[in-house]
């Protein structure tokens, strides 16, 4: 025998207060408890559906909603973090009915979790589902359908995890009322916040708050996930973010459930800034090195200055530049000799080398090419010439690598 009850915010005017009460979640739960009901209570709204499982008037488990897998994983980590959910991945994949509850049963059989943890897991799971039902019930029609068929077999029920509705409902009601009182009625706790303007966020929050928000808000974790991660009450977290949401600094977006309860929530990989190209200049004249440093840094690159040609190779091996400017006329070892040495070193042989010289003759150019130079640039050094050479040779270097 099936019994169906209909609940709506817009109750018929002819319905008396008692009749209205029977269409709400508290009455539905109390009715099942007083009857010693065993079976399931399906709850359906326009947007979501849930199923509450009963055994002898007590709640066994609750399923449904937008994020059943996220919910179970989050509650598991809060209740028994010492047990890895990944150990039950195969069991979850093979379970055709109530996979999360099967994980709970397996962990209990294996002695990995205590009776207190089992009861806490069941209670927390039910509290979150009851909150969602109350949240929906506050704004739209909800249908209740009780059936003694389709529930969980008593043999498969963890008797140590049974909870009376009155043990969990008050917490759900208080949380829902606090959520409403905080001005969050139009916000779903299953949405994920995304930072739109970091600069404005930094201006609007204290330094410590800013650092925390930037660290935990990644666009993938829901408000509920964040509340658990920061160990804050859900409504308090929502209330603290509400002004930032209203100012458009943070937005909320729908986020999908995890493919399974044993799948971890992976933080979104942060894009690492591309390193600036490194430009080395080997020249025995300090003035030239200073000029080159000003040009290179102005172009947005890192600069490595080498005045002693004898120290050129060790410094180049340590800094691994993307481009080398090499003076032709230097004491001890001239530019030709240094360029030949560079080309004989495996780690340096493919780095473009541009010869710098005050002598711009054909013989010098030919000899520079013979020792492996890529380009030839006459002194004095000027921004336009150096920048054009950098752009061309760095592009060729990136293409070859």
226-261 pLDDT, tens digit per residue, is: 999 888 999 999 999 999 999 999 999 999 999 999
Residue 264: alpha-carbon gap to chain centroid: 11
17: pLDDT strictly greater than 60:
no
pLDDT digit string (tens) for 374-397?
A: 988 888 889 999 999 999 888 866
pLDDT digit string (tens) for 26-59?
A: 999 999 999 999 999 999 998 899 999 999 999 9
pLDDT digit string (tens) for 135-176?
A: 999 888 899 999 998 888 888 899 999 999 999 999 999 999
When the pLDDT of each residue in the chain is averaged and rounded to a whole number, the result is 88
- 328 confidence band (pLDDT: 50, 70, 90): confident
pLDDT number for residue 9? 42
Cα dist from 229 to 54, 74, 223, 370, whole Å? 31, 9, 10, 63
Token pair for 119: 């009861």
pLDDT number for residue 16? 55
Q: Work out the average pLDDT over 14-24.
A: 60
- 370 confidence band (pLDDT: 50, 70, 90): confident
Residue 395: alpha-carbon gap to chain centroid: 34
Token pair for 116: 């207190």
343: pLDDT strictly greater than 70:
yes
- 103 confidence band (pLDDT: 50, 70, 90): very high
pLDDT number for residue 12? 45
pLDDT number for residue 253? 95
- 207 confidence band (pLDDT: 50, 70, 90): confident
Closest CA to 118 of 61, 57, 33: 61
Closest CA to 342 of 382, 377, 315: 315
Beta-strand relationship, 142-147 and 3-7: antiparallel
Helix (H, G, I), strand (E, B) or coil at 141: coil
Q: What distance in Å separates the CA atoms of residue 273 and residue 23, rounded to the nearest whole number?
A: 57
Q: What distance in Å separates the CA atoms of residue 35 and residue 58, rounded to the nearest whole number?
A: 10
DSSP state of 270: P
Contact of 223 with 234, CB cutoff 8 Å: yes
Helices (H) and strands (E) in the chain, counts: 16, 12
Q: Work out the average pLDDT over 323-327.
A: 93
Q: Is the pTM of this model over 0.95?
A: no
pLDDT number for residue 1? 46
Cα dist from 167 to 147, 150, 183, 221, 258, whole Å? 22, 24, 27, 29, 29
Q: What distance in Å separates the CA atoms of residue 248 and residue 195, rounded to the nearest whole number?
A: 9
- 266 confidence band (pLDDT: 50, 70, 90): low
- 6 confidence band (pLDDT: 50, 70, 90): very low
Q: Domain 278-400's class?
A: alpha beta
Residue with tokens 């055709």: 96
18: pLDDT strictly greater than 70:
no
């Amino acid at each position: 025998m099936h019994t169906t009850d209909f609940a709506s915010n817009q109750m018929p005017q002819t319905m008396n207060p008692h009749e209205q009460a029977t269409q709400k979640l508290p009455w539905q739960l109390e009715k099942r408890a007083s009857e010693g009901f065993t079976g399931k209570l399906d709850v359906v709204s326009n947007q979501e559906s849930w199923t509450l499982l009963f055994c002898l008037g007590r709640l066994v488990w609750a399923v449904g909603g937008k994020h059943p897998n996220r919910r179970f994983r989050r509650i598991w980590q809060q209740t028994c973090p010492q047990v890895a959910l990944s150990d039950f991945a195969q069991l979850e994949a093979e379970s055709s009915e109530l996979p999360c509850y099967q994980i709970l049963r397996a962990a209990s059989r294996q002695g990995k979790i205590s009776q207190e943890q089992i009861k806490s897991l069941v209670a927390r799971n039910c509290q979150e589902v009851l909150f969602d039902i109350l949240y929906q019930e506050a704004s739209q029609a909800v249908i209740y359908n009780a059936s003694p068929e389709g529930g969980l077999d008593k043999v498969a029920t963890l008797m140590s995890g049974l909870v009376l509705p009155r043990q969990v409902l008050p917490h759900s009601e208080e949380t829902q009322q606090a959520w409403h009182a905080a001005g969050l009625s139009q916000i779903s706790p299953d949405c994920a916040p995304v930072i739109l303007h970091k600069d404005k966020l930094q201006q609007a929050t204290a330094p410590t708050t800013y650092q925390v928000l930037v660290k935990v808000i990644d666009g993938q974790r829901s408000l509920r996930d964040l509340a658990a991660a920061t160990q804050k009450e859900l409504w308090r977290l929502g209330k603290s973010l509400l002004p930032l949401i209203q100012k458009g600094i943070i937005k909320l977006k729908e986020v999908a459930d995890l493919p399974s309860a044993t799948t971890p929530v992976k933080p979104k990989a942060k894009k690492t800034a591309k390193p600036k190209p490194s430009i080395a200049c080997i020249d025995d004249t300090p003035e030239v090195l200073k000029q080159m440093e000003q040009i290179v840094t102005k172009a947005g690159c890192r600069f490595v200055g080498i005045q002693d040609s004898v120290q050129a190779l060790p410094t180049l091996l340590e800094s691994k530049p993307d481009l080398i400017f090499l003076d032709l006329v230097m004491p001890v070892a001239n530019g030709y000799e240094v360029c030949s040495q560079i080309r004989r070193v495996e780690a340096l042989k493919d780095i473009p080398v541009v010869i710098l010289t005050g002598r711009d003759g054909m013989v010098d150019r030919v000899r520079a090419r013979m020792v492996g130079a890529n380009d030839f640039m006459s002194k004095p050094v000027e921004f336009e010439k150096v920048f054009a050479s950098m752009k061309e040779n760095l592009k060729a270097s990136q293409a070859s690598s």
